Chains A and B, each alone.
Chain A
């Protein structure tokens, strides 16, 4: 690893100012950036730690069950949070899929999102939770819906100096589920990640969201599949159509881990499967 100047600001304003400089990287949990610096794929001149800024971590739940997750909350806390497990099951399940216990004790949800890997395990759950991303920069604060945050692999709409501070999740759906398609039980990257959430009234779907990871240059919502489901009663045919529509929304690549064709096929299968689980949870 090349050496660098290390900063530990205690305010967001200071952190944002430092981060706006060229050749500067942020340090949240360090599980991506430290490894990249060791591999010399990143060699920043300065590293700005967010660890000493108060108020950036923790999970709060309001009376209407809307939830706020600080960007520096570690993913193990998200995984084990009763609020998240109960109201945003897909997100808790996604968090539990990252690396190992040791890595989840370090990694943060803000880092997992800001790193902008199309395969990030928390992203599909945040997509179906309709999370708003709170951002602070030199021009003040702004808020971006998570499905508008990503612009490409490793790329986001964040401008120089802008820092993700928290995620706000509106009132939850009645059921959600995440499936990571992978080889190893732990310490693996997702071939694909699929999350679905469902709102039910009687047996009619009033709202449905489908979030897909690792099947396009950015994480995406399968909006056509979602529209197919809304206002309908559930039938096996409908679930099958939603699976096909979700697969049609993807533009996967072939890589070392699996082929584009396999990814597309499995999006169909796993969308149906996550919808079934989400429905079961919505009914219970």
Chain B
């Protein structure tokens, strides 16, 4: 079966790839480009571990066909740090201990970043609800929510 030429940006880098139609964006990121920070959990859109940001919006990359992202700008967990400095959401997860095994963390951080970019003024309840598409089986969510609220607070104050 034919492969299709697809050009798009990942974390600012231009990618010109030949992609099989059946490959999801998640598979392209991990297996073709080698960015394994984005995790494959359920692969049915339920767990949020594969969350990346496409053109500013958080999406589950396991539901996106790689051949459909031509011309788009994709940000993964590897693209958040700038000049060796972690993104405030990443730092907040470390500072509060918002992770245990860490498998869900990239997805949580990408979801949280997109939500804070969209509106950092959400209430705790609104953040809790909006993060419902990300599942963590270790932490019990308390520290994750604390991290997100702290990061939102910091981004609000610095903007």
A126 to B31, CA, bound (A): 41
- Residue A105 at the chain B interface, CB threshold 8 Å: yes
A34 to B24, CA, bound (A): 9
B44:A35 contact, CB within 8 angstroms = yes
A101:B111 contact, CB within 8 angstroms = yes
Contacts of B44 in A (CB 8 A): 35, 38
Max chain B CB contacts within 10 Å: which of A34, A99, A101, A185? Answer: A101
A31 to B4, CA, bound (A): 21
Q: Which size class do B's interface residues fall under?
A: 20 to 34
Min Cβ gap A75→B in Å is 12
B43:A6 contact, CB within 8 angstroms = no
Name the contact of B133 in the complex, choosing from A1, A47, A49, A186 (C-beta under 8 A).
A186
User: Which residues from 1 to 51 on chain A have a C-beta closer than 8 Å to any C-beta of chain B?
Assistant: 1-6, 8, 27, 30-31, 34-35, 37-38, 47, 49, 51
Contacts of A31 in B (CB 8 A): 45, 63
Our count of residue pairs bridging A and B at CB distance below 8 angstroms stands at 87
A6-B21, A101-B115 known; A30-B132 Cβ under 8 A:
no
Q: Which size class do A's interface residues fall under?
A: 20 to 34
- Residue A100 at the chain B interface, CB threshold 8 Å: yes
Contacts of A185 in B (CB 8 A): 129, 132
- Residue A187 at the chain B interface, CB threshold 8 Å: yes
A102-B51, A106-B59 known; A34-B64 Cβ under 8 A:
yes
- Residue B139 at the chain A interface, CB threshold 8 Å: no
A27-B65, A31-B63, A187-B46 known; A102-B133 Cβ under 8 A:
yes
A134 to B64, CA, bound (A): 26
Give the 8 A-B CB pairs with smallest separation, nearest first.
A100-B133, A186-B132, A3-B1, A6-B21, A1-B22, A105-B57, A102-B60, A3-B22
Residues of A near any B CB (own CB < 8 A)? 1-6, 8, 27, 30-31, 34-35, 37-38, 47, 49, 51, 76, 99-103, 105-106, 184-187
- Taking A8-B68, A31-B63 as given, write out 6 further A-B residue pairs in contact, using a Cβ cutoff of 8 Å, ordered by the A residue number: A3-B20, A6-B21, A27-B68, A38-B44, A100-B45, A102-B58
